Amino acid sequence: MKATGRQRFVLPAIIALAAALLTVTPGPASAHGTTIDAPSRNYGCWARWGNQFQNPAMQTQDPMCWQAWQTDTNAMWNWNGLYRENVQGNHQAAIPNGQLCSAGRTGDGRYRAMDNIGNWQAKNVSRSFTVQLLDQAGHGADYIRLYVTRQGFNPLTQALGWSNLELLAQVGYTPSAQWTRVTTPFNGFQMNIPVTANGRTGRHMVYAVWQASHMDQSFYFCSDVNFV
């Protein structure tokens, strides 16, 4: 049957809309976890702009999130999926310098914008602060390691490398039953880990390595902080 003029106009529009819906997921696609305080880079972008991720105001108000949304929206919709499998504890071998925030361009490079250097929004913290890690799926932890960049590192101009980090806090084997059950901001389990970062002033990064217990699955999170 021959298509009318109206059909020729409507059908391509329907196809384009369907493709857009398949590309952009309106929320986290799977339940894993991340650091929510200080927020990891992609979680922070989602928390601030998820309801208006096409708002052009982001380009001037939050330019690092703007470039991240333009690079791959799924990095923010899947803020809880930044992990690698089968690393076997060899984190430095698996993740090259300059790619720590994307876990070595994991997920076919989905999170690559997290590595970009610039003025990411940073949370003000004191030298004694608490990192909150959300475990939505009840994975638990073989261990959690929290690093803070050394004094003199400038995240506004330098790419993050392993030598820039100092291990300042860690937690050993902890099943999810020993975490705090929470319902906000999401259902899951939360671990609060105190960190003392003596001698730090100004802008820094917190780097978390969470080795989940359910399988050899390693999560990596970059959070931006400002010591005041």
Nearest to 200 by CA among 131, 125, 117: 125
The predicted-structure confidence for 206-226, as pLDDT tens digits, reads as follows: 999 999 998 899 999 999 999
pLDDT at residue number 31 = 65
Give me the pLDDT at residue 162, please: 98
Nearest to 218 by CA among 142, 159, 138: 142
Assess whether pLDDT exceeds 90 at residue 20.
no
Q: Would you list the domain boundaries of the chain? A: 30-227
Question: Which element (helix H / strand E) includes 129?
Answer: strand 128-135
Facing residues of 208 across strands? 146, 221
Among 108, 107, 117, residue whose Cα is nearest residue 32: 107
What are the structure tokens assigned to 216, written together?
């050899």
What are the pLDDT digits (tens) for 116-169?
Answer: 999 999 999 999 999 999 999 899 999 999 999 999 999 999 999 999 999 999
pTM strictly above 0.85: yes
- What burial class does residue 138 get, using C-beta atoms within 10 Å of its C-beta: 0-12 exposed, 13-18 middle, 19+ buried? middle
- Choice between 172 and 14, residue whose per-residue pLDDT is larger: 172
* Mean pLDDT value of segment 39-53: 97
* Spatial distance between the Cα atoms of 60 and 136, rounded to a whole number of angstroms: 32
> How many Å apart are CA 53 and CA 73, to the nearest integer?
8
Cα distances (angstroms) measured from residue 68 to each of 38, 135, 201: 18, 24, 27
pLDDT at 18 over 80: no
pLDDT tens digits, one per residue of 71-96: 999 999 999 999 999 999 999 999 99
Sign, Cα dihedral of 199, 203, 205, 206: positive
- What superfamily in CATH does domain 30-227 come from? chitin-binding protein cbp21 (2.70.50.50)
* pLDDT, greater one: 70 or 23: 70
Using one digit for the tens of pLDDT, what is the confidence trace for 179-205? 999 999 899 999 999 999 999 999 999
